[in-house]
Amino acid sequence: MLYFRALKNAIQTDKSTMKTKESLLAQALVEAVEKLYQHTMNINDFQFQETRKEFAGDITLVVFPLIKISKTGPEPTGQAIGQYLKDHVADITDFNVVKGFLNISLSQSYWLQTFDAIAQASQFGFASAGSKPRVMVEYSSPNTNKPLHLGHMRNIFLGYSVSEILKANGHSVTKVQIINDRGIHICKSMLAWKKFGQGETPETSGLKGDKLVGKYYVEFEKNYRPQVKALMEQGMEEEVAKKEAPLMKEAQEMLVKWEQKDPETVHLWETMNQWVYSGFNSTYTAMNVDFDKLYYESDTYLLGKSEVEKGLQQGIFYQKEDGSIWVNLEDEGLDQKALLRKDGTAMYITQDIGTAILRFNDYPDTAYQIYTVGNEQEYHFKVLFKILKKLGFAQADQCFHLSYGMVELPEGKMKSREGTVVDADDLMAEMKAIARETAEETGKLENMDDAAKDALHHTIGMAALKFFLLRVDPIKNMLFDPKSSIDFNGQTGPFIQYTYVRTLAIQRKFTEQFGQPEANAAHPASVGNDELQIIQALYNWPAALQKAASTYDPSQIANYCYDLARVYNAFYQHNSIIREEDTAVRNFRMQLTMITGRTLQQAMALLGIEMPERM
């Protein structure tokens, strides 16, 4: 008979892929097809999938590809193979065939061996650090004319989480941001401060530096719009009026002065940017995110301009009569794109060309760059990657745009220039306040000092915020609702935190009464369905982690955490642990509890979420 003897070694030596069920079944299937149909197959030729919840079984074989070999229909083929496996593989207890799908049930013995291996692997599911190529992940990448807002938060949490997920799958990861610290938008804030600011500073205003600069970005728009309207009333077309409005022309002149390194303009730019950087750093600290390397547009645009000028000399780009430089991508199914303005100033695409090349030069072992940028920029990145290819840049095909949907509020889309965005600092403060209110209602923190309570409220509020923004597939637009994100009973970060805290509380009680749980305690004679569901959920962790990495989708991790927390809480509601009299059962349930807590903590860390010890 065939047995799953290699199970333990398979889990310990291949934790990153964890196809144990598939690989071991495949070997048995090779023999089944050989015996039944006198046909030789490779173990990689079989197709498996998870068994649908409405059918009995732990794993499903797709039978359709085998009917050419069996020369019979899918159901007779499934019946014959299923019966062979049941007769010859000790850990297969039953099977059923639904059309072209063979659903296979595995024994309790199999699942208990699986659990033993999971328990012994402290980094179960994680690949060896640095075992896969370097990946560079860009996220945040703010403009220095406004504070970070809710839209940035989805970007930041997505990019940070993807970085951590790729690390867990063995990649070396470099986390970067490009700080957009130059350009017409930056000059708008500078000009408005110069005209209307009366020397206001973060110290004199009491505002964070990024908020102060953002205030003048809005101020520019307030004064600019009436000028456009007045010109239109004089008969000027709207697009022309926008360019000819006095404030816009002054801003363009300031941009030219900046690129010409006019001392007064550069000094103002440096001063206001430092205000913003200080504000950003404070916000990043509260978010608990970091970067390995910072790039600045004020540096990379120069390399971009140089590459554009080279491309013009080589005939890759062309120059219009007004002096502007363009690329024609119509043969690529795209459009014509301006690369330098007629006054010689650079554009966003210019600095992106320079940034891509500089980053690959800085980290030549980078296998690919991931740009975490909203879906409104999809066309921009198609253009960028085509331009890099036209320039003969070897790594042009190693760039990927991680596109994500917008975050909207019940009242509609946010607009920075109108000052209708949800400020990141304000939102974090609101989430903390909601967490405080919710925690106080439970009345479980009376013995905690004020500083510890404050830290806990921040931890819960950030978990609610991050989980809510990451639990949705990145490609989808989403509506953000702060109060529903912090529900302790729904699909939320605090619900999973609470489950983790429950596992710690049970462990403390167990240790008080029985001492430390035995790591290799004997299994009970049998276990219930609730326990089996937890083991099966734990087994699925490596697959969820691998899928999240291959799709750059943290929602795979978020949904896994919710599913594991849900099955554990169902087990907790129906089964005793501390009060269980059977020693073997009690120890086993305690082990299940500890491994569940460990897995939740490790998985939530990949979302950037901290797990508290009390709630």
Long-range contacts of 31-35 (CB under 8 A, 24+ apart): 31/2, 31/88, 32/81, 32/84, 32/85, 32/88, 33/66, 33/69, 33/81, 35/84
The verdict on residue 165 lying in a domain is yes
Q: Are residues 371 and 485 in the same domain?
A: no
User: Higher confidence at residue 466 or residue 489?
Assistant: 466
Rounded CA-CA distance 614/19 in Å is 36
Q: How many C-beta neighbours within 10 Å does residue 125 have?
A: 25
Distance between start and end Cα atoms, the chain: 51
> What beta strand segments (E) does 320-473 contain?
325-328, 336-340, 366-374, 399-404, 407-408
Q: Are residues 279 and 303 in the same domain?
A: no
Residue 306 in this model has a pLDDT that exceeds 60:
yes
Q: Are residues 582 and 474 in the same domain?
A: yes
Task: Collapse the DSSP code of 173 into the 3-class scheme (helix H, G, I; strand E, B; otherwise coil) and give the result.
Answer: strand
Find the radius of gyration of the CA atoms of the chain.
29
Residue 338 burial (10 A CB sphere; 0-12, 13-18, 19+): middle
Q: Average of pLDDT values for 97-126?
A: 94
- Predicted pLDDT of residue 227: 97
Select from 71, 13, 21, 83 the least CA-distant residue to 46: 21
How far out from the chain centre does Cα 286 lie? 18
- Predicted pLDDT of residue 370: 98
Rounded CA-CA distance 466/458 in Å is 12
Number of domains in the chain: 4
Domain end marker among 262, 287, 312: 287
Helix locations, 89-183, DSSP H: 108-120, 150-168
- Locate 525 and state its tokens: 């004679």
Contact assessment for residue 82 and residue 95, using Cβ atoms and an 8 Å cutoff: yes
Task: Collapse the DSSP code of 181 into the 3-class scheme (helix H, G, I; strand E, B; otherwise coil) and give the result.
Answer: coil
Average pLDDT across the chain, whole number:
92
Contact assessment for residue 400 and residue 370, using Cβ atoms and an 8 Å cutoff: yes
- Locate 532 and state its tokens: 């089996």
Q: Are residues 163 and 137 in the same domain?
A: yes
Tell me the residue range of the domain where 39 lies: 7-106
Strands 48-49 and 59-62, by their bridges, are antiparallel
Whole-number Cα distances in Å, 271 to 117, 233, 509, 552, 558 = 58, 38, 57, 38, 41
Residue 418 in this model has a pLDDT that exceeds 90:
no
Q: Are residues 589 and 475 in the same domain?
A: yes
What does DSSP assign to residue 43? G
- Dump pLDDT digits (tens) for 282-303: 999 999 999 999 999 999 999 9
- Dump pLDDT digits (tens) for 356-386: 999 999 999 999 999 999 999 999 999 999 9
- Predicted pLDDT of residue 17: 37
Residue 409 in this model has a pLDDT that exceeds 80:
no
Strands 318-319 and 325-328, by their bridges, are antiparallel
The verdict on residue 610 lying in a domain is no
Lowest-confidence segment of 34-38, 243-247, 409-413, 553-557 by average pLDDT: 409-413
- Dump pLDDT digits (tens) for 581-603: 999 999 999 999 999 999 999 99
Sequence-distant (6+) residues with CB within 8 A of 288 are 462, 608, 610
Helix count and strand count (H, E) for the chain: 22, 14
Q: How many C-beta neighbours within 10 Å does residue 486 have?
A: 25
Q: Are residues 170 and 300 in the same domain?
A: yes
Residue 131 in this model has a pLDDT that exceeds 70:
yes
- Locate 87 and state its tokens: 């007769």
- Dump pLDDT digits (tens) for 444-478: 777 888 999 999 999 999 999 999 999 999 999 99
- Predicted pLDDT of residue 298: 94
Rounded CA-CA distance 545/564 in Å is 13
Rounded CA-CA distance 457/189 in Å is 35
What does DSSP assign to residue 377? G
Q: Are residues 213 and 331 in the same domain?
A: no
Q: Are residues 435 and 408 in the same domain?
A: no
Domain end marker among 375, 398, 419: 419
Residue 11 in this model has a pLDDT that exceeds 60:
no
Select from 467, 471, 463 the least CA-distant residue to 434: 463
Rounded CA-CA distance 539/32 in Å is 26
The verdict on residue 506 lying in a domain is yes
- Predicted pLDDT of residue 592: 96
User: Higher confidence at residue 338 or residue 614?
Assistant: 338
Residue 79 in this model has a pLDDT that exceeds 70:
yes
Instruction: Tell me the helix, strand and coil percentages in the chain, rounded to 5.
Output: 60, 15, 30
Q: Average of pLDDT values for 550-575?
A: 97
- Predicted pLDDT of residue 420: 54
Residue 80 in this model has a pLDDT that exceeds 70:
yes
Q: Are residues 364 and 272 in the same domain?
A: no
Q: Residue 119: pLDDT band by 50, 70, 90 thresholds?
A: very high
Q: Average of pLDDT values for 389-410?
A: 92
Q: Residue 251: pLDDT band by 50, 70, 90 thresholds?
A: very high
Residue 336 in this model has a pLDDT that exceeds 80:
yes
Q: Average of pLDDT values for 77-103?
A: 96
What does DSSP assign to residue 281? H
- Predicted pLDDT of residue 285: 97
Rounded CA-CA distance 546/165 in Å is 8
- Predicted pLDDT of residue 483: 75
The verdict on residue 215 lying in a domain is yes
User: Looking at residue 524, which CATH number applies to its domain?
Assistant: 1.10.730.10
Q: What percent of the chain has pLDDT over 90?
A: 84
- Predicted pLDDT of residue 5: 28
Q: Residue 4: pLDDT band by 50, 70, 90 thresholds?
A: very low
Q: How many C-beta neighbours within 10 Å does residue 512 have?
A: 9
- Predicted pLDDT of residue 422: 84
The verdict on residue 412 lying in a domain is yes
Q: Are residues 158 and 304 in the same domain?
A: yes
Q: Average of pLDDT values for 83-104?
A: 96
Contact assessment for residue 116 and residue 30, using Cβ atoms and an 8 Å cutoff: no
Rounded CA-CA distance 242/188 in Å is 13
- Predicted pLDDT of residue 574: 95
Residue 510 in this model has a pLDDT that exceeds 90:
yes
Q: How many C-beta neighbours within 10 Å does residue 6 have?
A: 13
The verdict on residue 75 lying in a domain is yes
The verdict on residue 114 lying in a domain is no
Q: Are residues 274 and 355 in the same domain?
A: no
Whole-number Cα distances in Å, 599 to 317, 491, 534, 541 = 53, 17, 11, 8
User: Looking at residue 395, which CATH number applies to its domain?
Assistant: 3.40.50.620
Domain end marker among 287, 320, 346: 287
- Predicted pLDDT of residue 444: 73
Cα angle 58, 62, 64; round to 5: 155
- Predicted pLDDT of residue 410: 67
- Helices 184-196 and 209-233, interaxial angle, to 10°? 90
User: Looking at residue 50, which CATH number applies to its domain?
Assistant: 3.30.1360.70
Q: Average of pLDDT values for 486-494?
A: 86
Rounded CA-CA distance 363/398 in Å is 13
Contact assessment for residue 496 and residue 536, using Cβ atoms and an 8 Å cutoff: no
Q: Are residues 433 and 565 in the same domain?
A: yes
